[in-house]
Amino acid sequence: MRFEQSEFHNQLVRGLTHKMNNILSLCQGYIGLLIDDESLDRDTRDGLLRIRESADAASNLMDRTKALAAPPSAVWRQISPEDFFKSLLPALQLYADRGVTVQITCDPGLPDLYADTPRLRVALKEIVKNACEASPADGIVKISVKRHPHPIRPRGRRITLPPINWTAITVTDSGKGIPPSLNTKVFQPFFSTKHNDTAMGLGLSVALGLIQQLGGAIRLQSKPGRTAIKVLLPARAS
């Protein structure tokens, strides 16, 4: 019964987000046509631009909400950590504005990860994006990939085979840090420590949901000037 309810929830989320994205795409198309009208006065054009920005934000919200649902077909495979991060780095660097730098160090000889690649990519992009936004100008976001020597008991979906090894992916920023009272709240949907209108408070909750679907776990350590989010994932011996 629990599996059936979970699958129903996933189908519901996928269906609703798909319908909403169709509606938003239609609105964005018509707004674009109106903005192209050269006879519009400045106030009307500015108003339409704000509406389009809101529609874009809503579409982004739908995409990130959809990521919380398990995909209808996931492909579990062995993934080389070095190759994976080499291909992921260009996408991560898109979040590094204001002079922020993203650095990756990957220990040699790591066992392959065992995961669904699209879900892992989305989860790590959300975590790195959050770290880049928290970093000061000209800061450095460091990503460290190492063996994790201790076994863990992850929550969420169980993988078919017991992991032989665990790999730790640690994302560290040099931002202001997270107060201890908020350490668990930052993973709640729609909770954000950023005081701006564009902050949706979904990044870390999406990442947590995806990592748990992959049979992994997330640990958070934070103090002023340093916040580290450690992603623990099952791995396979070659």
Q: In this model, does residue 33 exceed pLDDT 80?
A: yes
Q: In this model, does residue 131 exceed pLDDT 90?
A: yes
Q: In this model, does residue 53 exceed pLDDT 60?
A: yes
Tell me the average pLDDT across 200-210.
Answer: 80
Tell me the average pLDDT across 141-160.
Answer: 73
* Residue 102 DSSP SS3: strand
* 164 vs 223, higher pLDDT: 223
Angle at 145 between CA 110 and CA 187, to 5 degrees: 130
Helices (H) and strands (E) in the chain, counts: 5, 7
Reference 188, options 203, 210, 175; nearest CA is 203
pLDDT bucket at 196, cuts 50 / 70 / 90 = low
Strand partners, 146: 168
Using N-to-C axis directions, what is the helix angle for 42-66 and 2-35, rounded to 10°?
A: 160
Tell me if 140 sits within 8 A of 131, measured CB to CB. Answer: no
Give the burial class of 151: count Cβ atoms within 10 A of its Cβ; 0-12 exposed, 13-18 middle, 19 or more buried: exposed
pLDDT bucket at 158, cuts 50 / 70 / 90 = low
- Scan for tokens 């992959």, then name that residue: 214
